[in-house]
Amino acid sequence: MYQRHQNLEHFIRVARNLFRARALPDAARQLAVAVFERLDQPSDDGKRNNERYPACDLLDSALAPLLGDSSGLGEAARTIKLLEPAIGWQRRTSGMYGSKDYIENHVHGMICGPGGMESRYDVQLGFSLLAPATRYPDHQHPPEEAYVLLSAGAFRQRDGDWFDPGLGGGLHNPRNAVHAMRSGTTPLLALWCLLI
Ligand SMILES: [Fe+2]
């Protein structure tokens, strides 16, 4: 029977708190409550995305500013580092308006979800990592999603203005709503969760 590793258990606890922050929109917090309720039940089918991509090498520089931080953001960063060898990596290769080389300049780390450390299909919990000066393509998907920022970063929903939720802040993307993100002069690192 599958037993969840204690480092993953710890990460889920830390992430759950980050997604409870007052700085998040109500809809993001509500979605996260449902995601983490499902995560109370460990589940893994053993399918791992083992491939690493060039942007994985940015993880250390993205985590570095938080490693000495005593807040939940610091705890999340230190725990992501512990989980790194077991994370399932993936990339998006389609969508409009992505910056040149965006494919090489981004990666998603799946922690709980298909091909992730805990491979499952009822939720997704992971993070996006963008190299500096990278614009991720416009995209949309049926599940709604919530983000928490572990760095600076700008987001856009539908054809609205770009905005930075701020460190520890977040956003909520409704079902099928077009959205995008972009980094500034430093890597963008943001946690997300989705209810499938
Ligand atoms: Fe998305």
Query: Rounded to an integer, what is the distance from CA 68 to the centroid of its chain?
Result: 21
Q: In the beta sheet, which residues pair with residue 147?
A: 171, 192
Q: State whether residue 108 is helix, strand or coil.
A: strand
Half-sphere exposure at residue 1, Cβ-oriented, CA atoms within 13 angstroms: 3
Query: Could you tell me the distance, in angstroms and rounded to a whole number, from the CA of residue 166 to the centre of ligand 1?
Result: 18
- Annotate 9-73 with DSSP letters as a single string: HHHHHHHHHHTT-TTS-HHHHHHHHHHHHHHTS------------GGGGGHHHHHGGGTT--SHH
Instruction: Say what percent of the chain tops pLDDT 90.
Output: 99
pLDDT at 65: 98
Q: What spacing in Å lies between the alpha carbon of 119 and ligand 1's midpoint?
A: 19
How confident is the model at residue 37, as a pLDDT?
98
Q: Which amino acid is at 167?
A: L
Instruction: Kindly report, residue by residue over 18-54, the tens digit of the pLDDT.
Output: 999 999 999 999 999 999 999 999 999 999 999 999 9
User: Crossing angle for the helix pair 6-18 and 72-83, nearest 10 degrees?
Assistant: 150
Q: Cα–Cα distance between 129 and 181 in angstroms, integer?
A: 11
β partners of residue 166:
none
Alpha-carbon dihedral sign for residues 55, 58, 60, 62:
negative
33 with 24: CB under 8 angstroms? no
Q: What is the share, in percent, of the chain residues with pLDDT greater than 70?
A: 100
By the 8 A CB rule, do 166 and 130 touch? no
Q: Separation of 18 CA from ligand 1 center, angstroms?
A: 19
How many residues would you count in the chain?
196
What separation in Å is there between the alpha carbon of 145 and the centre of ligand 1?
7
Mean pLDDT of the 79-101 span? 97
State pLDDT tens for residues 77-89.
999 999 999 999 9
Distance 142 CA to ligand 1 centre (A): 10
Distance 42 CA to ligand 1 centre (A): 24
Measured CA to CA, the distance from residue 11 to residue 9 in angstroms comes to 6
Reported as a pLDDT band with limits 50, 70 and 90, residue 148 is: very high
pLDDT tens, residue by residue, 115-143: 999 999 999 999 999 999 999 999 999 99
Domains annotated for the chain, with CATH where assigned, are 6-195 (2.60.120.10)
| C-alpha 4 – ligand 1 centre gap (Å) | 26
Ligand 1 centroid, distance to 1 Cα (angstroms): 32
How remote is the CA of residue 120 from the centroid of ligand 1, in Å? 18
Ligand 1 centre distance from Cα of residue 159 (Å): 15
Ligand 1 center to 107 CA (angstroms): 13
